[in-house]
Structure 1
Amino acid sequence: MTVIEPDHAASSPAAPFTAERRPSRAKTIIGWTIVAVLVLIVAMVGLRVAVTAPGARGALDPEARDDGGALALADILRDQGVEVDVRRSRAEALTAIDEDTTLVMANPYTLTDEALETLTAPAGRVVFLSTGTHLLNELGIGENATGTLPAAAPDCDVAEFARVGTIRADRLFTPADGVQACFGDAEGAAVLVDRRSTPERVVVEGTRLFGNAYLAENGNAALGLALLGQTDRVVWYVPSFADSDIEAEPVDTLGSLTPPWVTPAILLLIIAGIATAIWRGQRFGPLVAETLPVTVRASETMHGRARLTARAADAPHAGQALRDGTQRRLARRLGLAVHAGADEVADAASDRLRIPRGTLQALLAGPLPENDAALVDLARRLDELETAVDDSTHVDRSEPTTHPREAEGNT
């Protein structure tokens, strides 16, 4: 609640208020510095995680120790006397392969069909531990089948699978004509063996069969030995994008289309914006406890409104304020009610000044001024009207009163 009092009643000073002391500037700077350092650390960690390339040890990698790696299967083969030669270069793998070697690889999606044919031609056996639709079509060995098998036995004429036992495969294949289907039937089998040509080719989806986390389940380890332990030497090729022969046309990106200086400029602007925010940022201070009511001088509100009106350059509003003030003062001097209308005040002023009624209506209730010049003229005329009414009031009170007897004597 705010109380406005006239100037003569506003002799007491404004009520005091209390406020807590704001924290020092040094503490504020230290706080903002800590926040900025934390933000930069989080941004750097997020950027590092976002741009970090996948590890060199992928799924069914014979040197990977994670759940998806195949290090356990490679160690079992070595324990059985099988030499496991890991190659990550297509050229090196090609020089290490002969007709007495088993070539093992996951789905070689990084190689073209020509490169895959060149790589597999010298081998005696080729085992694909994982596959895709394109590889199935390229090999002509079968197609994808729907459904899964809870537990599947070999059920085929392949002698090396006779002692494997049962496995549980997540992916089945429908064999092509002349291809043996094992661990399933002709509608869907987990392993396809193609002996129609040289080299012999075997396809199996081994991600959840030969991974380190699943090798000890069911007959998975025995199946891995049956597939890869038929020769004394295994060349395990690990496909990667670094060894790819696929030549793709570069795609235009926003980074490639913009000049080289755009990215550093954007980073510089971001850093400048963060620095400016820290520099200009100010923590909200504590709330100020203020005792109410607060005494405000009437002259302060008057001057404040006047300054606002002058700043807004609102001549009509200022003219109306001048008229309202003149009207109230004239009504008080003429003995009228404070809220008397403009026409009533104008008629009473006309009677006091002994001028025809209707003369002052345009001054007190006419169009408002539209510019500063008209406002100054209106203020001057209103001041002249008030002065004239004051003068007429003083004249009326100062005139002598004639006694009736003196009037009779004079007659």
Structure 2
Amino acid sequence: MTALDTRTAPPQRRRRITGWVVIAAVLVAVGIAGSALAGIGQWAEREALDPESAGPTGARALAEVLRDHGVEVVVARDRTSAEAALARGPAVLTMADAPYLSDEALTARADAATDVVLIDPRSRTLRLLLPGATTHGVGPGAAVPPACELAEAERAGSLSPGAIYAPGPLATSCYPTGGGYGLLVQEDDGRRVAAVDGRALFTNEHLAAEGNAALAVNLLGRHATLVWYLPDIGDSDITDADSSLGELTPPWVSPVIVVLLVAGIAAGIWRGRRFGPLVAERMPVTVRAAETTEGRARLYAHARDALHAADQLRIGALARLSRMLGLGPSASAQEIADAAAARAARDRGAVRRILIDELPRTDADLVALGEDLRALEQSVHAAVRPERNTR
């Protein structure tokens, strides 16, 4: 369709085209928003203790400090890169928790390194690499001295540990607080394994506090090469994991779900579209006003409700008098009665009695009131239009 055809298309067709364009734009916006949110979540997960991240929970500042001290920092994001870097010579291997690796794979990576620094260890990692050590909660947050004979800790001085650990029988324990220790170090035949909470000490937002930077350089800079291993799910060698929902369901389930979603969206668009402006429907029966009035009168008569009938007579008389006297729709009954009395030169109290005050009790009283109302209207009409009454 050309631009000219679109401009000259009927209004209904233009509305239909505009509706589809809006739906497509909304779907594209939702897709973009979902992709952005997914990317934000992945980046936030990757940022923690990442040596290439400049965010608050990253560790880029520590990596740059180590490079300034002559340490080669190798960032290994897969198992092959880590093995190649560790095979070149003496090196320190540092890594956070590695839930994607099996016990055998985790131990093999650690055995290939000269030193190992665990900067976010969990119970399994401590059990494998620091026998007898366990997690012990979180420290109270106050700065404490090393209180141990480890040279690296003594040079660093006091700091505020985050997570604390219970040591094994062969570990050197530093920074006692809260019933545990903020640093565990165990040496065996010249090979050292250390455990410390890097999230509370070595991230960009905490590195400059107290002795955090000094302790990080002392632990991670013991050799000329530091291999910073960041394993992900692609390095996983675990084959006995629980099956996912997609693996447990038949192959045809996923396509059927997609088809049902598409059908639901199409049905919503089909049933939700506008069918044009509303059309007034003609009533099947038309009742004349006179018949309605007569019907109400019979009901009042049958119920012997003289007072209600009198109210209806007065409402009609007041409306007609207001129009004859040129009063507005907001005029009150008292104002209409006073104006009618003045115009017809009648007693004001008598007119108010007819239009407002008198309460008929019987049918005879109601008939008399009707006659009084008619006479009052005739006298006002004669006073307002005297020329018509003389002809």
Same-fold call, TM cutoff 0.5: yes
Q: Residues 143 and 248 (structure 1 numbering): CA distance in 2 closer, same or farther, change over 3 Å?
A: same
| Partner in structure 1 of residue 31 of structure 2 | 44
The 5 Å alignment of 1:177-216 reads: 177-184=169-176, 187-216=179-208
Q: Larger radius of gyration, structure 1 or 2?
A: 1
State yes or no: 1:160 paired with 2:152.
yes
| Partner in structure 1 of residue 126 of structure 2 | 136
State yes or no: 1:80 paired with 2:72.
no
Q: Give the TM-score of the pair, scaled to structure 1.
A: 0.58
Once residues 260 and 138 of structure 2 are traced to their aligned partners in structure 1, the CA distance between those partners, rounded to angstroms, is 56
For structure 2, list consecutive stretches of 5 or more residues without a partner in the other structure: 1-9, 289-391
Which of residues 233, 241, 262 is equivalent to 1:241?
A: 233
Deviation at 1:284, TM superposition (A): 8.2
Q: Give a deviation string over 1:177-208, Cα, whole Å, max 9, x none.
A: 23111122693111101124552110011112
Once residues 167 and 174 of structure 1 are traced to their aligned partners in structure 2, the CA distance between those partners, rounded to angstroms, is 18
Q: Residues 232 and 178 (structure 1 numbering): CA distance in 2 closer, same or farther, change over 3 Å?
A: same
Q: Give a deviation string over 1:46-100, Cα, whole Å, max 9, x none.
A: 5535766834844212222222221111110000111112222324323432663
State yes or no: 1:25 paired with 2:12.
yes
| Residue type of the alignment partner of 2:61 | A
Which of residues 104, 108, 128 is equivalent to 1:118?
A: 108
Once residues 249 and 176 of structure 1 are traced to their aligned partners in structure 2, the CA distance between those partners, rounded to angstroms, is 30
Once residues 126 and 64 of structure 1 are traced to their aligned partners in structure 2, the CA distance between those partners, rounded to angstroms, is 22
Q: Give a deviation string over 1:297-339, Cα, whole Å, max 9, x none.
A: 8xxxxxxxxxxxxxxxxxxxxxxxxxxxxxxxxxxxxxxxxxx
| Residue type of the alignment partner of 1:227 | L
The 5 Å alignment of 1:50-65 reads: 54-55=42-43, 57-65=46-54
Once residues 169 and 44 of structure 1 are traced to their aligned partners in structure 2, the CA distance between those partners, rounded to angstroms, is 43
The 5 Å alignment of 1:11-410 reads: 24-26=11-13, 28-45=15-32, 47-48=34-35, 54-55=42-43, 57-97=46-86, 100-138=90-128, 139-149=130-140, 150-184=142-176, 187-249=179-241, 251=243, 253=245, 257-260=249-252, 262-283=253-274, 295-296=286-287
Q: Residues 250 and 154 (structure 1 numbering): CA distance in 2 closer, same or farther, change over 3 Å?
A: closer
**Contact map agreement 1:102 1:124 (CA 8 A) in 2:** yes
Q: Give a deviation string over 1:258-294, Cα, whole Å, max 9, x none.
A: 334x54444344334433443443448778899x9x9
Q: Residues 275 and 151 (structure 1 numbering): CA distance in 2 closer, same or farther, change over 3 Å?
A: same
Once residues 229 and 249 of structure 1 are traced to their aligned partners in structure 2, the CA distance between those partners, rounded to angstroms, is 37
Deviation at 1:131, TM superposition (A): 0.4
SS at match of 1:251: coil
**Contact map agreement 1:59 1:69 (CA 8 A) in 2:** yes
Q: How many residues align?
A: 274
| Residue type of the alignment partner of 2:52 | E
For structure 1, list consecutive stretches of 5 or more residues without a partner in the other structure: 1-22, 298-411
**Contact map agreement 2:138 2:178 (CA 8 A) in 1:** no
The structure whose residues are more often helix, as a share, is 2
Once residues 220 and 247 of structure 2 are traced to their aligned partners in structure 1, the CA distance between those partners, rounded to angstroms, is 47
RMSD: 3.4
SS at match of 1:242: helix
Deviation at 1:44, TM superposition (A): 1.8
Q: State, as a whole percentage, how many aligned pairs show the same letter.
A: 37
Q: Residues 206 and 284 (structure 1 numbering): CA distance in 2 closer, same or farther, change over 3 Å?
A: same
Deviation at 1:213, TM superposition (A): 2.2
Deviation at 1:214, TM superposition (A): 1.9
Q: Residues 256 and 48 (structure 1 numbering): CA distance in 2 closer, same or farther, change over 3 Å?
A: farther
Q: Give the TM-score of the pair, scaled to structure 2.
A: 0.61
Once residues 258 and 80 of structure 2 are traced to their aligned partners in structure 1, the CA distance between those partners, rounded to angstroms, is 42
Q: Residues 211 and 185 (structure 1 numbering): CA distance in 2 closer, same or farther, change over 3 Å?
A: closer
Once residues 185 and 177 of structure 1 are traced to their aligned partners in structure 2, the CA distance between those partners, rounded to angstroms, is 18
Once residues 141 and 186 of structure 1 are traced to their aligned partners in structure 2, the CA distance between those partners, rounded to angstroms, is 19
